[in-house]
Homo-oligomer: A and B are copies of this chain.
């Protein structure tokens, strides 16, 4: 009897039968997260429902040297919750309790399986809400939001998950319970809370989260602007930010995305525009009016051909409807799409979008752009057909080129989706060997045996060396015109 069978027996002694899945048909639903191009059926699936059970699972797996991959709703887009054939996939879906809404101190204490939007729903009675709003907010869970440091349309003004989490309780790979952060402003010692945000399940199992709640702004209105040139829309984004205005959201969609969205849900976008900007402003009525006038003026000065301001809440939601439906709308353009996620300095928006258009031509694959322009967070959607030979591989290569372009202009290979398994190789471009060595040392500090979600997020130096060898381009930057950025 090998060690893995021992592990199953031990788990069966602490979990009820329905909470330990070992049959292939039971495990199949857990074989991938939102990045479905990668699939792996796990050795077993644990569905604990008490803290004692979670601790027992972690300790038993540690004793048997079985990797543990924690998972929330499985909506992640970079494969951070991809199982391992030799590992235990532990779902935290049953931890879905809102422990406390403390309106006076404007915090909520929640379990990891609580859905993002459920926090705002519970806080609504107090006029409060939880600000980060990933597109998947109806389904995605807060534990996964912390693990991937999720963003959303409103993170331009209100920050990423890391900016909205005050305290996290974790269970380490050794079975210790740690509390990171505090309900107070600052906490002594190294900022372990920040390091947990975006750590992709590799440092600890997130078991309780204290988040900030914000008061609902009295008013929110959206300005929709149409542009004939993508560059003009990009310059407008820089102009708004340079004017000292921080919109609640500032999103861009290009022609392909606009048309796909219109075909899908008739949001009322101008079909003949080459780019639209959606700029949401929130605050008191006076403040919103003042800022709307200023933003509309900036839009006009940059050549906006048509500008419309939402006059009712219904109209505001319709303006957003097309943006929020952009991903499913891509289904009308091609059977499959690959959603990229990279961040660039805002001033380079125009040149990078131009280069993406060229790459789209070169690869013969349509790319729609629909993204968080205000914070330079691109989401190119590469359309392809997985049933056509070589198209998936071409889409992946094109995606990799786009990420490399982001690094080249001084940006990063992720904005809000994490690294997971998807971007391991681009990490080698982003970071030097000593920087990666520190990442590995941090992992060792929390998880010396390397049993929590191993193989994700941080590539080995060996892998980077192999990747580097594959990507030699004659020692030159591939796009010399960008060298000055």
Contact = CB atoms under 8 A, between A and B. Distances in A.
Interface of A: 103-106, 127, 149, 151, 155, 160, 162-163, 172, 176-180, 182-192, 194-195, 197-199, 203, 215, 238, 241-242, 244, 283-284, 286-287, 290, 343-347, 375-377, 410-416, 418-419, 423, 427, 430-432, 434-435, 438-439, 441-446, 457-458
Contact of A423 (B188, B347, B415, B438): B188
Given A182-B412, A286-B286, 4 more contacts: A104-B347, A160-B186, A184-B376, A194-B195
B435 A445 contact: no
Most buried by B among A149, A185, A187, A194: A185
A439 B190 contact: yes
Contact of A186 (B241, B346, B415): B415
A123 to B, nearest CB: 13
A427 B188 contact: yes
A270 to B, nearest CB: 28
Given A185-B160, A375-B185, A434-B176, A190 B155 contact: no
Contact of A287 (B183, B283, B418): B283
A187 B412 contact: yes
Contacts of A435: 178-180, 189, 192
Contacts of A410: 182-184
A182 B377 CA distance: 13
Contacts of A286: 284, 286-287, 290
Nearest to A243: B215
A437 to B, nearest CB: 8
Contacts of A418: 188
A419 B188 contact: yes
A186 B416 contact: yes
A189 B434 contact: no
Contact of A413 (B188, B191, B195, B244): B188
A127 B243 CA distance: 10
A409 to B, nearest CB: 10
Nearest to A204: B438
A184 B344 contact: yes
B414 A186 contact: yes
15 contacts: A104-B238, A149-B191, A151-B185, A155-B185, A162-B191, A184-B344, A185-B343, A185-B377, A186-B414, A187-B414, A188-B412, A188-B427, A189-B435, A194-B194, A442-B445
B188 A197 contact: no
Contacts of A106: 241-242
A184 B345 contact: yes
A104 B376 CA distance: 14
A177 to B, nearest CB: 8
B411 A182 contact: yes
A162 B237 CA distance: 26
A250 to B, nearest CB: 12
Contacts of A444: 441, 445
